């Protein structure tokens, strides 16, 4: 499909980078379909990252993602999932390329500024996790 889902993670919200990050997203040709500042409870963060529940970093990740407000967005562009992962850069900011969102704003592998869906199927599931049908324009 032509949609993906992203979150601006707690560290980047805390550091006042919402504007700079959404600007990079729009400048790269994405249209913002849905946008919401909200906070995940520990339980909801656990649900969102349930695919990682057996990974060693799961508990820390869920605590971190519920530690402060996040900004959730559905984005639209042709080839959205792949193009957005290119724009955010590698999970580990030390490996993120110049010009990527993570290169600019990530602080660590965990506090890496943004999330981006890794497949069309997950983009749909993750968008549905935050947004009702009448919150998409
Ligand atoms: P995202 O799903 O957030 O876009 P990703 O696909 O680049 O990130 P995943 O491997 O799916 O990375 O991991 C999900 C998230 O878990 C990462 O974005 C990061 O915040 C955290 N994470 C991944 N690996 C580690 C690690 N080794 N130590 C701590 N946190 C990690």
Write down the ipTM of this complex: 0.92
Long-range contact pairs involving 19-28 (C-beta distance under 8 Å, separation at least 24): 20/104, 20/105, 21/101, 21/105, 21/113, 21/114, 22/71, 22/73, 24/87, 24/101, 24/104, 25/73, 25/75, 25/84, 25/87, 25/101, 28/77, 28/83, 28/87
CA angle 59–111–75, rounded 5-degree value: 105
The boundaries of the domain holding residue 92 are 3-135
- Check pocket membership of 122 for ligand 1, CB cut-off 6 A: no
Give the model confidence (pLDDT) of 51-105 as tens digits. Answer: 999 999 999 999 999 999 999 999 999 999 999 999 999 999 999 999 999 999 9
- Residue whose Cα lies nearest atom 13 of ligand 1: it is 91
Give the model confidence (pLDDT) of 22-39 as tens digits. Answer: 999 999 999 999 999 999
- Residue whose Cα lies nearest atom 1 of ligand 1: it is 115
Give the CATH number, domain containing residue 31.
Answer: 3.30.70.141
Total count of domains within the chain: 1
């Amino acid at each position: 499909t032509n949609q993906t889902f992203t979150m601006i993670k707690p560290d980047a919200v805390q550091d006042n980078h919402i504007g700079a990050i959404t600007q990079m997203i729009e400048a790269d040709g994405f249209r913002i379909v849905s946008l919401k500042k909200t906070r995940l409870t520990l339980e909801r963060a656990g649900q969102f990252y349930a695919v990682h529940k057996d990974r060693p970093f799961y508990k820390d990740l869920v605590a971190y993602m519920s530690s402060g407000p996040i900004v959730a967005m559905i984005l639209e562009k042709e080839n959205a999932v792949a193009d957005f992962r290119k724009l955010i850069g590698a999970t580990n900011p030390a490996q993120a390329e110049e010009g990527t969102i993570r290169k600019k704003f990530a602080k660590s592998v965990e506090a890496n500024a943004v999330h981006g869906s890794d497949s069309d199927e997950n983009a749909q599931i993750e968008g549905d996790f935050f947004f009702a049908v009448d919150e998409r324009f």
